[in-house]
Amino acid sequence: MRKIKVLVVEDSYMFRGVLVNGLSSDSGIEVVATANDPFEARDMIIKHDPDVMTLDVEMPKMDGIEFLRKLIPQHPMPVVMVSSLNSKVFDALKAGAVDFVNKPSGLTKEQLGDFIKNELVTKIKIASTVKISNLKKTKFDDNKYGQQEVGSIYNKKVIAIGASTGGTEAIYSVLMGLNSDVPGIVITQHMPPGFTKMFADRLNNQTKLHVKEAVTGDFIKPGHVLIAPGDKQMKVVKIGDMYKVECFNGPKVSGHCPSVDVLFESVAQACKGDAMGVILTGMGADGAKGLLKMKQAGAYTIGQDESSCIVYGMPKVAMELGAVGCQVSLDKIPEKIYTLLTRKQ
């Protein structure tokens, strides 16, 4: 089996060595080159034609984001960011990076090894499977559908969205196509703790919706979006004729915390047919079984189609299970949401 050729771009000599040693210990990966800055990286890309590149956000001479903006149009390739807790990582994802890991600090040698093996290697292997043609192809139409008639009936509806690899930009695209008239939205996106609050704050500033990282007791309200914290499971519960979320420590489900399955299954139980489920791009099967339970409970379900996915994994498994009621391209999902909401009324 052919090894994945990786270029490591990291300005810290010591950490670069740690990454190279850790990645090289995996039989499926070959580190073909390293670079100290984007200019060296450019030369290494031309010389070695790597399958995947790891890239730091903060770099000498040119930061990682500017490098991505120049790189992706000329040399489309999967890039995994290795970043400390920094909101700039979302600029990197917008510029075309596939995914990111949180750069560790204060770890022992053994813990660093576990981080590389369990997180970075996994992300690199997923990145190597992405559809290059879909990088930087995210589209959205701001306010395309106009303001809809909103009634109190929307207080009793919930839209649940789940995503993984490629999901930050997919979620951004969907929310940018929605107005403040939509029912309350709950989202689980696979993401490390700390970054989910930054992600929520960014969406709050850029969309017409009120977006925040969820905390236990938050009520789900029209025009508001709650995003599961990066280190907690989130579920929806019914209180009278309203819904709220509970965020709690718990084991990984379907390989993840937060898990899309946990969210979707809770929505199926609490909301029955007064809900809509949307499963977006991502590797694996998280959310597929939960979406099926939502559909069986009477909810409308939407799956992102293969042609617009960065990784057609979660939506594919959901489709194969019969959990997806309709499958559409990413840019058509807001329109489909409004169409189904009108039908539900």
Buried b / exposed e along 169-183 (16+ C-beta atoms within 10 A): bbbbbbbbbbbebbb
Could you state, in order of their start, the residue ranges of all structural domains in the chain?
4-130, 152-344
Cβ proximity of 6 and 54 under 8 Å: yes
Q: Above 50 in pLDDT, residue 272?
A: yes
Q: What is the pLDDT of residues 309-343, one digit of tens each?
A: 999 999 999 999 999 999 999 999 999 999 998 87
Q: Given strand 29-35, what is the order of strands in its sheet? A: 29-35, 4-9, 52-56, 79-83, 99-102
* pLDDT band at residue 152 under the 50/70/90 scheme: very low
Please report the pLDDT score of residue 270 as a whole number.
97
For the residues 227-239, what does the mean pLDDT come to? 97
Q: Above 60 in pLDDT, residue 123?
A: yes
Q: Apex CA 87: angle with CA 77 and CA 235, to 5°?
A: 95
Percent of the chain with pLDDT over 70: 93
Which candidate in 164, 173, 266, 308 is catalytic? 164
Q: What is the CATH number of domain 152-344?
A: 3.40.50.180
Residue 1: name the closest of 31, 34, 30 by CA: 30
Extract the tokens encoding 178.
């929605």
Cβ proximity of 269 and 243 under 8 Å: no
Predicted TM-score (pTM) of this structure? 0.90
Residue 83: name the closest of 110, 105, 111 by CA: 105
Q: What is the pLDDT of residues 25-57, one digit of tens each?
A: 999 999 999 999 999 999 999 999 999 999 998
Extract the tokens encoding 129.
């499977």
Which candidate in 37, 56, 99, 190 is catalytic? 190
Q: One fold for both 4-130 and 152-344? A: yes
For the residues 82-93, what does the mean pLDDT come to? 86
Cβ proximity of 300 and 276 under 8 Å: yes
Q: What is the mean pLDDT of the chain?
A: 91
DSSP 8-state class, residue 3: P
Range with the poorest average pLDDT among 113-117, 252-256, 303-307, 314-318: 113-117
Q: Above 80 in pLDDT, residue 141?
A: no
* pLDDT band at residue 72 under the 50/70/90 scheme: confident
Please report the pLDDT score of residue 132 as a whole number.
76
Q: Is 190 a catalytic residue?
A: yes
Extract the tokens encoding 48.
């070695």
Which candidate in 37, 91, 286, 305 is catalytic? 286
Q: Is 286 a catalytic residue?
A: yes
> What's the topology of domain 4-130?
Rossmann fold (3.40.50)
Q: Is 164 a catalytic residue?
A: yes
Q: What is the pLDDT of residues 235-266, one digit of tens each?
A: 999 999 899 999 999 999 999 999 999 999 99
**Helix H segments across 177-285?**
195-206, 260-271
